[in-house]
Amino acid sequence: MIPIIQGLFIGLGTSFIIGPVFFTLIKNSLQGSKLNGILTALGILLSDIFVAFICLIFSKEFLINYVNQTSSQIIGAGILAFFGISILFKPVQLSNDQEKQLPKKAIKPFMQGFTVNFINPAVFVIWIGFVTIAEQTFTESYHIYWFIFGILIGIFTTDVMKVFGASFIADYLNPKNLISLSKIIGMLLILFSIIVVIKALI
């Protein structure tokens, strides 16, 4: 099978992964604009490109050591907790002119998608696995790159699908329910950060 197609199927399979990135993407998509969610998805895509590049360049032993370091995990947990707390105290703001205001604030959802994905140790573990599969499956370097490219396309495609799904659901929710859902997402991000800290200290 063509490497890019194999990678695409694997990337599409990531749609079943539920974690901090998923909740951040959904929260930003509920801001009342699909563009808000797509900007988050682009931030996630860019961070995945960086992580994939790092996994291709550095040795797996070095990366696994980085992922398992207590300090790295606690720093990542702290950033997740910060996002969760900020969502709790500043829930979804709905406004009729939100579409007009969005371009001025485009960097925020983009950076949230990039940061939450990049600081998550699990993302590095997943990409170490992807790169290992690529290196064991293909002998030509350009086949490996096409395989990775296919994975990236698959991940971005599923993220965009989640954005449109969240926007569709948002159309049928009232402002009170959207704010409550935003708070739940904030608490889930805090919960993830606590789990990461507990695992790091055990």
pLDDT tens track for 50-96:
999 988 887 667 667 766 677 777 877 787 788 778 777 775 555 44
Q: Could you give the CA distance from residue 154 to residue 14 in angstroms, rounded to a whole number?
A: 8
- Average pLDDT score, the chain: 79
Going from the C-alpha of 41 to that of each of 23, 44, 45, 68, 124, the distances in angstroms are: 12, 5, 6, 27, 18
Query: What is the predicted pLDDT for the residue at 191?
Result: 86
- The whole-model pTM stands at 0.78
